[in-house]
Structure 1
Amino acid sequence: MKRLGLLPKLILGIILGIIIGSTQIEILTRILVTFGGIFGNFLGYIIPLLIIGFIAPGIAELGEKAGKLLVITATIAYISALVAGIIAYFTGSTILPTIIADGGGTVQEGVEAQPYFEIVIPQIMGVMSALVTAFMLGLGMAAIKSKTMLSFMQEFQCIIKKVIENIIIPFLPIYIASIFANMAYAGEVRQTLSTFGRVFVLILIVHIAFIILQHTVSALLTRKNPFNAIKSILPAYITAIGTQSSAATIPVTVKSTKNIGVSDKVAEFAVPLCATIHLSGSTITLTMCAIAVLILEGAVISFGQIMPFIAMLGVTMVAAPGVPGGAIMAALGLLETMLGFTESQLALMMALYIAQDSFGTAANVAGDGAIAQIVDKYK
């Protein structure tokens, strides 16, 4: 089991959850649901700490690198993520309703299995309070150039990473199993599974289309061949599918970006920075998955509701942990507070997101090469 990746474990968890729930053996389902409730409470507790632990030092570290290249790279990366989210919204809101039947909710009220007991773990602070605190600390550390505070926050970030890597990620498949067991127990799992496949294919198509768009725009600005650029960035794209981490792919991305014709100085600065702040592929995935989950629950979301969420994603995912599923962990607070996601909806989001995390990361990495070309042109 230790040698299995997160995705196989997640799939195994879904299968086991469905089997257990479908047996209609109440005691087994209730045991899983009890664990799911405890784990969900712990997840809610850790979200504000995660936000502070990643956003605050991330902003402080960016402030220490202040300069023209930083401003240009960060601005282009943020615009790229915004455009990605907007395209994802209009594509998802147009196509997803036609391929997802309104099930009126994934679990029928009054039918789901109840936990044997609950352990309530209150949050230290609300999610929005954590966001404001993270911004205040990050900007404050950058303004006063605090090395002591930054060192503390970096160590705090390491602690949160350990929690994610050693507790949340290992137990996540069991948590997902508990959600699907309850759904199967209620007889509402078939529609959700069919939705997963359709959403996955659509997200992958949008990823590829956006990569082509990014490199087309950079080619127009730099007067280079976009297809040569895409061909050069393919090794990084393929590597990211395997590593599921933009950070782990940096050496290959830097080399691929230099092969496009980007100068060494820009490639060695822009690529590592974009690995932290540019998550257009993840933004596409999170936006479309959110729309899919809401449609599955019979809800409708307007552009006015989704746009603030997209705008905040570009900031919240700064310095997202370099572990599989890091972006969704950083976005859980926004999904809960800005889109009103319930515990069950958050679990579905995690399952949907992690199922294609490799391709979202690969889309992020492929876009880094396009951004580096533009930065090289206007540095």
Structure 2
Amino acid sequence: MKFKFGLLPRVVLAIALGVACGFFLPGWATRIALTFNAIFGQFLGFAIPLLILGLVAPGIADLGRNAGRLLALTAALAYAFTLFSGFGTYLTGRFLFPALLEGSAAVLPEEGAALAPYFTVEMPPVMGVMSALVLAFVLGLGMAYIRSVTLKAAMDDFKRIIELVILRVIIPLLPFYIFGIFLSMTQSGQVAGVLDVFVKLIAVIFCMTVVLLLVQFSVAGLAARKNPLKMLRTMLTAYMTALGTQSSAATIPVTLAQTVKLGVRPELASFVVPLCATIHLSGSMMKITACALAVSMIAGLDIPASTFAGFILLLAVTMVAAPGVPGGAIMAALGLLESMLGFDETLAGLMIATYIAMDSFGTATNVTGDGAVAVIVDAIDRRR
């Protein structure tokens, strides 16, 4: 059996090596790592608008082409659960994080404290993040409305190119990028505080995912007049599978089989489950919102609640059609983190590292919640 060294183990190894090497690596070697980070950070800035355009526009067009009552109902439920997760996480974080992260405000290196890269290469993006998002909405809705064939085929090809960029370039290089961030933090003396924040965040977010799933299946139980705990137990197989695959798309066969065991009609489950693998992102929303709030707090950013609300509303749409690969959702969210919340390269790197450390749990939460959405849609449709 071939052993697969997945993204999560690589990120963990990168963090460990960054911390270890930070204690003895000479300054010239650290500057080499920082030079790579500077160039890779420029490439990320260039690619982010293209990622948003290439992922969101075809995703919206696909939803529109299959327009119908069940589609509208499924999309509304998925979006509602995703927003509930985002706003619930924000409110919980505002209540818990000040005490939880007390004393962590100085874990980030001060400006100018770290070594500088030898050089960088400027890569200006072809458009701004918000321009890319608006253009994606216009193109996606327009293609759906006119039932475009030619432009849709071109956008699908563009989406495949973007997915290859994520899979073959960004994802493989992320561990080196994270290595450089933790190497710099270790030499600046802030790494212990960052790792402490990591452990606390992982514990809190895991507890919140349990609460979220209980809420989702309680709603499903009320709609279908079934025991929510029994339904949740049935979906645990899909949950455990998603922990291994780290992909909602790759887990669809298992999710579908377990959803049918919940009593959902097979023909309806075959429609709802693949759709929810794309548009239902409660777990991913929870992770990104919690990590963004925590990172902004330790960085001392004063972000108004109204700005965070707008971020959550746009994030729920921006993550739609994020590719079924580890880290896909955070790649789609980077633009909003930078343009709306004011995250710089270091904060974005921390977000990526924290998100990927919990990627399996978020994906498993998304997948398990897909069963709850299918049960509710089936219960409502049976009452017609």
Q: Whole-Å Cα distance in 2 between the matches of residues 368 and 185 of structure 1?
A: 44
Match of 1:280 among 279, 282, 287: 282
- Say whether 1:55 aligns with 2:26: no
Paired AA for residue 34 in structure 1: T
Secondary structure at the aligned position of 2:125 is classed as coil
Q: Whole-Å Cα distance in 2 between the matches of residues 127 and 53 of structure 1?
A: 12
Q: What does residue 33 of structure 1 align with?
A: 34
Paired AA for residue 5 in structure 2: L
How far has the Cα of 1:347 moved from its partner?
0.3
Secondary structure at the aligned position of 1:197 is classed as helix
Q: Whole-Å Cα distance in 2 between the matches of residues 11 and 158 of structure 1?
A: 28
Match of 1:234 among 220, 236, 242: 236
Pair 1:193–1:350, CA change in 2 (3 A):
same
How far has the Cα of 1:97 moved from its partner?
1.6
Q: Whole-Å Cα distance in 2 between the matches of residues 205 and 292 of structure 1?
A: 16
List, as ranges, runs of 4+ consecutive aligned residues in structure 1 with deviation greater than 4 Å: none
Q: Which runs of 5+ in 2 are unaligned?
A: none
Match of 1:296 among 298, 304, 318: 298
Q: Determine if contact 1:20/1:28 at 8 Å carries over to the other structure.
A: no
Deviates more, 1:95-104 or 1:250-259: 95-104
Q: Whole-Å Cα distance in 2 between the matches of residues 290 and 211 of structure 1?
A: 21
How far has the Cα of 1:24 moved from its partner?
5.6
Q: Whole-Å Cα distance in 1 between the matches of residues 303 and 238 of structure 2?
A: 35
TM-score using structure 2 length: 0.97
How far has the Cα of 1:221 moved from its partner?
1.7
Q: What does residue 97 of structure 1 align with?
A: 98
Q: Whole-Å Cα distance in 2 between the matches of residues 105 and 241 of structure 1?
A: 30
Secondary structure at the aligned position of 1:22 is classed as coil
- Say whether 1:365 aligns with 2:367: yes
Q: Determine if contact 1:9/1:173 at 8 Å carries over to the other structure.
A: yes
Paired AA for residue 116 in structure 1: Y
Q: What's the CA shift string for 1:183-220, capped at 9, x where partnerless?
A: 11111111001100000010011011100110001101
How far has the Cα of 1:297 moved from its partner?
1.0
How far has the Cα of 1:295 moved from its partner?
1.4
How far has the Cα of 1:21 moved from its partner?
2.2
Cα RMSD (Å) of the superposition? 1.3
Paired AA for residue 86 in structure 1: F
Deviates more, 1:77-86 or 1:8-17: 8-17
Q: What does residue 253 of structure 2 align with?
A: 251
Q: Whole-Å Cα distance in 1 between the matches of residues 306 and 123 of structure 2?
A: 33
Secondary structure at the aligned position of 2:22 is classed as helix
Q: What does residue 266 of structure 1 align with?
A: 268
- Say whether 1:78 aligns with 2:65: no
Q: What's the CA shift string for 1:109-157, capped at 9, x where partnerless?
A: 2210100011111101000000011111101101110111111111111
Q: Determine if contact 1:54/1:157 at 8 Å carries over to the other structure.
A: yes
How far has the Cα of 1:298 moved from its partner?
2.2
Q: Whole-Å Cα distance in 2 between the matches of residues 84 and 3 of structure 1?
A: 32
How far has the Cα of 1:3 moved from its partner?
3.1
Q: What does residue 65 of structure 1 align with?
A: 66
Secondary structure at the aligned position of 2:35 is classed as helix
How far has the Cα of 1:105 moved from its partner?
5.3
Paired AA for residue 257 in structure 1: T
Q: Whole-Å Cα distance in 2 between the matches of residues 376 and 165 of structure 1?
A: 35
Q: Whole-Å Cα distance in 1 between the matches of residues 3 and 112 of structure 2?
A: 37
Same amino acid, percent of matched pairs: 51
Q: Determine if contact 1:102/1:298 at 8 Å carries over to the other structure.
A: no
Q: Which runs of 5+ in 1 are unaligned?
A: none
Q: What's the CA shift string for 1:314-353, capped at 9, x where partnerless?
A: 1101100111010000100111111111111000000000
Q: Whole-Å Cα distance in 2 between the matches of residues 302 and 162 of structure 1?
A: 36
Secondary structure at the aligned position of 1:115 is classed as coil
Q: What's the CA shift string for 1:32-67, capped at 9, x where partnerless?
A: 000000000001111011001000000001011000
Q: What does residue 19 of structure 1 align with?
A: 20
Secondary structure at the aligned position of 2:97 is classed as helix
Q: Determine if contact 1:81/1:314 at 8 Å carries over to the other structure.
A: yes
Q: Whole-Å Cα distance in 1 between the matches of residues 25 and 327 of structure 2?
A: 31
Deviates more, 1:126-135 or 1:18-27: 18-27
Q: Determine if contact 1:35/1:175 at 8 Å carries over to the other structure.
A: yes
- Say whether 1:123 aligns with 2:125: yes
Q: Whole-Å Cα distance in 1 between the matches of residues 107 and 199 of structure 2?
A: 18
Q: Whole-Å Cα distance in 1 between the matches of residues 305 and 370 of structure 2?
A: 27
How far has the Cα of 1:23 moved from its partner?
2.0
Secondary structure at the aligned position of 1:117 is classed as coil
Q: Determine if contact 2:64/2:144 at 8 Å carries over to the other structure.
A: yes
How far has the Cα of 1:299 moved from its partner?
2.7
Secondary structure at the aligned position of 1:276 is classed as helix
Q: What does residue 108 of structure 1 align with?
A: 110
Match of 1:197 among 196, 199, 216: 199
How far has the Cα of 1:305 moved from its partner?
2.0
